[in-house]
């Protein structure tokens, strides 16, 4: 800008001249230069939706190959992150993996995860009934059994 324009802007309190004399904030420039969001196919995910059976098969395979506690807990976090409750077969594979890596606390937490994910107490009891033989075989206690005063 020329010096004469700045002198005029300083003398006159006109809004137009003040706007010209002031530098624009960086945020306003970035907002003007930013491209708008696009809904073109190029930006959409290429992955197809996974069926429950495919999900179950994938996680059974994942838990069968677990070799350490980190892998077990990462796979559990991923499995429970979906908007569904994993099938008893997946949970069975997870419990066996917890036993294989000798991680009793995570095995107990699997049942806590089931309890948090199901819609009602009846569903939780159905999962417990389905997994009871495996729980007894592996010697896994429920949190309710370990801390009965907290479950009231």
Q: Domains of the chain (ranges plus CATH)?
A: 3-33 (no CATH), 52-146 (1.25.40.40)
For the chain, the residue count is: 152
Supply the angle between the helices 52-64 and 69-81 in degrees, to the nearest 10.
Answer: 170
Segment 94-101 shows an average pLDDT of 96
Give residue-wise pLDDT tens across range 134-143: 999 999 999 9
Residue 108 predicted with pLDDT over 90: yes
Give Dmax (Cα) for the chain: 90
d(Cα 15, Cα 13) in Å, to the nearest integer?
6
d(Cα 110, Cα 142) in Å, to the nearest integer?
9
Residue 45 gets which letter from DSSP? -
Q: Please tell me the number of Cα atoms within 13 Å of 105 on its side-chain side.
A: 2
Residue in 129, 102, 101 with CA at minimum distance from that of residue 111: 129
Give residue-wise pLDDT tens across range 62-88: 999 999 999 999 999 999 999 899 999
Residues of the chain with pLDDT > 90, as a percent, come to 61
pTM over 0.85: no
Question: Residue 113 in contact with residue 76, Cβ under 8 Å?
Answer: yes
């Amino acid at each position: 800008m020329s010096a004469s324009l700045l002198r005029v802007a300083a003398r006159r309190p006109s809004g137009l001249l003040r706007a010209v004399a002031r530098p624009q904030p960086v945020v306003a420039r970035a907002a003007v230069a930013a491209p708008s969001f696009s809904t073109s196919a190029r930006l959409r995910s290429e992955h197809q939706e996974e069926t429950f059976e495919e999900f179950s098969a994938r996680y059974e395979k994942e838990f069968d190959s677990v070799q350490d506690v980190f892998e077990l807990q990462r796979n559990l976090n991923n499995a429970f992150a979906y908007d569904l409750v994993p099938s008893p077969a997946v949970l069975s594979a997870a419990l066996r993996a917890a036993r294989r890596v000798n991680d009793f606390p995570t095995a107990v937490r699997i049942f806590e995860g089931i309890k948090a994910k199901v819609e009602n107490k009846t569903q939780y009891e159905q999962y417990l009934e389905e997994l009871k033989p495996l729980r007894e075989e592996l010697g896994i206690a429920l949190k309710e059994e370990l801390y009965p005063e907290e479950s009231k």
